[in-house]
């Protein structure tokens, strides 16, 4: 009987430690916009904001960020960049590789002076995608 109790205690501890180790953050999008470089290599203008309702998951246990758009965007986190904060923003950034193996930088930015509005920036060399996001 004691061996069963010990087994059950170890089982519950194992589940508890596993749960505490991984963090998963869930967001929804409300809109997105794109900025592209021109043929001359200069940044153009942001596209009009398109309304979109997508799920975004940051999973630090699996080291990935997933945007559940029509074509799922999977970003493998290669490096966690130190948190930055200034008077206007709080920024969490990640160096990633996307589905096609292209390197990019993802940043979750909280705008302090805009009612703590959150945005997800996906930065490539030639274009940037921004999603307005909120916690779920």
What is the arithmetic mean of pLDDT over 54-77? 97
Please provide the average confidence, as pLDDT, over all residues in the chain.
Answer: 88
At 21 the pLDDT is 54
Whether the pTM exceeds 0.85: the reply is no
13 burial class (0-12, 13-18, 19+ CB within 10 angstroms)? Answer: exposed
What does the pLDDT look like over 67-124, one tens digit per residue?
999 999 999 999 999 999 999 999 999 999 999 999 999 999 999 999 999 999 999 9
Q: What's 48's DSSP letter?
A: P
At 22 the pLDDT is 64
Q: Is the pLDDT of residue 20 over 50?
A: no
C-alpha 94/C-alpha 55 separation (Å) is: 18
- Closest by CA to 75, choosing from 90, 65, 61, is 65
At 108 the pLDDT is 98
C-alpha 124/C-alpha 129 separation (Å) is: 9
What does the pLDDT look like over 32-42, one tens digit per residue?
999 999 999 99
Q: Is the pLDDT of residue 125 over 60?
A: yes
Contact indicator for 122, 104 with CB cutoff of 8 Å: yes
Residue 97 CB contacts under 8 Å (≥ 6 apart), including other chains: 75, 76, 78, 103, 104
């Amino acid at each position: 009987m004691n061996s069963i109790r010990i087994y059950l205690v170890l089982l519950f501890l194992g589940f508890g430690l596993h749960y505490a180790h991984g963090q998963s953050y869930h967001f929804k999008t409300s809109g997105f916009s794109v900025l592209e470089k021109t043929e001359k290599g200069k940044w153009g203008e942001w596209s009009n904001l398109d309304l979109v309702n997508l799920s975004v998951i940051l999973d630090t246990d699996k080291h990935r960020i997933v945007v559940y758009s029509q074509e799922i965007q999977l970003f493998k986190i290669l490096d966690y960049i130190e948190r930055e904060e200034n008077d206007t923003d709080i920024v969490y950034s990640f160096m990633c590789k996307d589905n096609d193996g292209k390197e990019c930088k993802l940043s979750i930015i909280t705008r302090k002076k805009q009612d703590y509005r959150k945005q997800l920036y996906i930065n490539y060399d030639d274009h940037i995608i921004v999603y307005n996001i909120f916690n779920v």
